[in-house]
Chains A and B, each alone.
Chain A
Amino acid sequence: DAKTTQPNSMESNEEEPVHLPCNHSTISGTDYIHWYRQLPSQGPEYVIHGLTSNVNNRMASLAIAEDRKSSTLILHRATLRDAAVYYCILRSPRKIIFGKGTRLHILP
């Protein structure tokens, strides 16, 4: 099963951009890269996904390396409400594996 690797935790100051990295060196050609986040005491919620090209939506941007072996979730202006665990997963028609994610701390 394709796996992802993320730092255990990161810190950022409020109102500054945050770059959350993810390595997925065993990604296959049909795997989509999905990002989810989990706020305290809630279930995971979808943030963004992509295949090859960079993607933007109202929540975040996703930058995908040319070889697709890594990606970066970009929060353009972090707020206290963005403090959560962020999960990078590979989406395919197989079982979907979550890692431990990155716990993002936002400093006021």
Chain B
Amino acid sequence: GAGVSQSPRYKVTKRGQDVALRCDPISGHVSLYWYRQALGQGPEFLTYFNYEAQQDKSGLPNDRFSAERPEGSISTLTIQRTEQRDSAMYRCASSSSRIKYTGELFFGEGSRLTVL
């Protein structure tokens, strides 16, 4: 696709349910980042991948959060046993590897998660 695509755009779930958020990066982009953004705050780093390898997951809040990118393209962020505090906008960004340290980040439109 032309840009980073995220789905679903909106997700409302009940506390205790599991949710999976999907990110389809720009074709050929090697690096993929997940962020969480609360209203009025800057994006909070969660995790990032180069190809299929998860390089850093230090931003994942706890072990209910996990992410994968099995074929080095589409990534899924999974939140198990959701809690109300997980409600936020979840944003995905990708970057080309050809200019590894300078490549701009391209952000998707985000997935807004609401946990009731």
Q: Is the CB of A36 within 8 A of B56?
A: no
Residues of chain A at interface, number, CB under 8 A: 24
Q: Is the CB of A96 within 8 A of B105?
A: yes
Q: Give A32 Cβ to nearest chain B Cβ, in Å.
A: 5
Mask of A83-103 contacts with B, CB within 8 angstroms, 1/0: 001010001111111111100
Residues in A neighbouring B101, C-beta threshold 8 A? 30, 32, 91-93
Total A-B residue contacts, Cβ distance less than 8 Å: 55
Residues in B neighbouring A36, C-beta threshold 8 A? 105
User: How far apart are the CA atoms of A96 and B58 in the complex, in Å?
Assistant: 12
B35 within 8 A of A: yes
Mask of B90-110 contacts with A, CB within 8 angstroms, 1/0: 010100000011111111111
Q: Pick the most buried of B33, B101, B109, B110: most chain A CB atoms within 10 A of its CB.
A: B101
Q: Is the CB of A49 within 8 A of B41?
A: no
Q: Which residue of A lies closest to B106 (CB)?
A: A46
A45 within 8 A of B: yes
Residues in B neighbouring A45, C-beta threshold 8 A? 107
Mask of B45-78 contacts with A, CB within 8 angstroms, 1/0: 1001000000110110000000000000000000
User: How far apart are the CA atoms of A44 and B110 in the complex, in Å?
Assistant: 10
Q: Is the CB of B105 within 8 A of A44?
A: yes
B42 within 8 A of A: yes
Q: Is the CB of B42 within 8 A of A49?
A: no
Q: Give A9 Cβ to nearest chain B Cβ, in Å.
A: 12
Q: Which residue of A lies closest to B103 (CB)?
A: A91
Binding site for B on A (CB under 8 A): 30, 32, 34, 36, 42-46, 49, 51, 85, 87, 91-101
Binding site for A on B (CB under 8 A): 33, 35, 41-45, 48, 55-56, 58-59, 91, 93, 100-110
10 contacts between A and B (CB under 8 A): A32-B102, A42-B109, A44-B91, A44-B105, A44-B107, A49-B102, A49-B104, A95-B48, A97-B45, A101-B42
